[in-house]
Amino acid sequence: MSRLRTTSQPAGTSAGTTTASTEAVPPAGPVARSRRRRFPTHLVVFIAPAAAIYTVFMVYPLLDSLRLSMFAPRDGVQVFVGLDNFVHLLTDDLLSDAFWNAVWNNLVFFAVHFLVQNPIGLLLAALLATPTLSGRGTYRTLLFLPTTLSVVIVGFIWQLIISPVWGFVDTPLLGQSSTALVTLALMSVWQYIGIPMILFYAVLISIPDELTEAATVDGASAWTTFWRVKFPLLLPTVGIVSVVTYVANMNAFDLIYTVKGALAGPDFASDIMGTFFFRTFFGFQLQQGSSTMGATVATMMFLLILAGVLLYFYGWQRRVESYEL
């Protein structure tokens, strides 16, 4: 990281001069070899800006957050406290209850996505991939439309529609602790279903006809062909979609905050890691915000994401065979 930043310094100053010198290289002869010998300024010019912005505004803050999770304010200065913050988060009565509640809710939030978006996405993709279907492009665009909306808009659209004031739904689905979280998760599924649909669809249309024809010739019914030939080819994509959904869900925030506020009511029934992180960092009601405890929660979120990704790599991807088509 530091190496990148030091190399980026000469880039700005010497860019102009070396442009000229590269051009001065005689076009005939071993151009590539003579270029390789001089300092590759163009390489630095090409890569340094992207690497610098990425390093300063993404990698550094992430590492800084990791660092801060091991510090705590004492008399106005940040002092190193090792893993005390984590111990506090996991053992303090109030805090650990809130933390585990958020973890559990977040897993439920993901489970609803997993259980609903895969079958519906698969069904829609299979229908879209029907060879004789007309108007395919229009369907694709329309089915994808909700995905382009802001989560804030999605939250309010559904809040209005299921509001008892408008009268389509009588039960206050968002007001009861038993239904709030699942309702919010379904709103989110409604918005993002287009992504699994398109990815499944891409796999289905890339399956060569010979493969399905061979199965049909061998006497397999369409039903058997789907489950025995196409479905195994879809499994790697189901895995990728699920792991991407898991990562997105683990740092979801906008929807819950829009619909239920930072307190993620009723009685924290819809509290997930994102809202818990926000409250810990900025404080709420009587509890004061803390950047170091906020960083601690962020680090735990990172570990949860890492655990999910590793589980995917070792539990799913290794067992599911992927085929080159």
Partner 1 sequence: MSAVNTPVRGVTRAPAAGRPWRARAGAVVPHVILLAYVVVACGPIALIVMNSLKSREAIFEGPFVFPTPDTFDLAGFETVFTRARFELYFLNSFIVTVGTVFLVLLLGSMAAFALAEYRFAGITLLSMYLAVGIMIPIRLGTVGILDLMVRLGLVNSLAGLVLVYTAMGLPLAVFVLTAFFKQVPGDLKDAARIDGASEYRVYALAVPLVRPGLAAIGVYTMLPIWNDLWFPLILTPSENVRTVTLGTQLFLGQFITDWNAVLAVLTLAALPMLALFIIFSRQFVRGLTSGAVK
For residue 301, the minimal CB distance to partner 1 (Å) is 6
CB closer to partner 1, 178 vs 316: 316
DSSP state of 40: -
* 76 or 178: CB nearest partner 1: 76
State the minimum distance, in angstroms, from the CB of residue 178 to partner 1.
Answer: 24
Please tell me whether residue 165 adopts helix, strand or coil conformation.
coil
Bridge-based pairing of strands 77-80 and 71-74 is antiparallel
Toward partner 1, which CB reaches closer, 90 or 281?
281
Count of CB atoms situated within 10 Å of the CB of 323: 9
User: With respect to partner 1, which residue has the nearer C-beta, 85 or 93?
Assistant: 85
Q: Nearer to partner 1 by C-beta: 134 or 178?
A: 134
Compute the residue count for the chain: 325
Task: State the minimum distance, in angstroms, from the CB of residue 166 to partner 1.
Answer: 7
| Nearest approach, Cβ of residue 201 and partner 1 (Å) | 7
Cα(88)–Cα(227) distance, integer angstroms: 50
Q: Please, where are the H alpha helices in the chain? A: 2-24, 31-37, 41-54, 60-68, 84-91, 93-128, 136-144, 151-161, 180-192, 194-206, 209-217, 222-225, 231-250, 254-260, 273-282, 291-311
Q: Exposed, middle or buried, 88 (CB in 10 Å: 0-12/13-18/19+)? A: middle
Q: Closest Cα partner for 300 from 66, 22, 118?
A: 66
- CB of residue 111 to partner 1, shortest distance in Å: 20
Q: Number of C-alpha atoms within 13 angstroms, CB side, residue 205?
A: 14
Residue closer to partner 1 (CB basis): 34 or 171: 34
For the bound state, the minimum distance from the C-beta of residue 19 to partner 1, rounded and expressed in Å, comes to 6
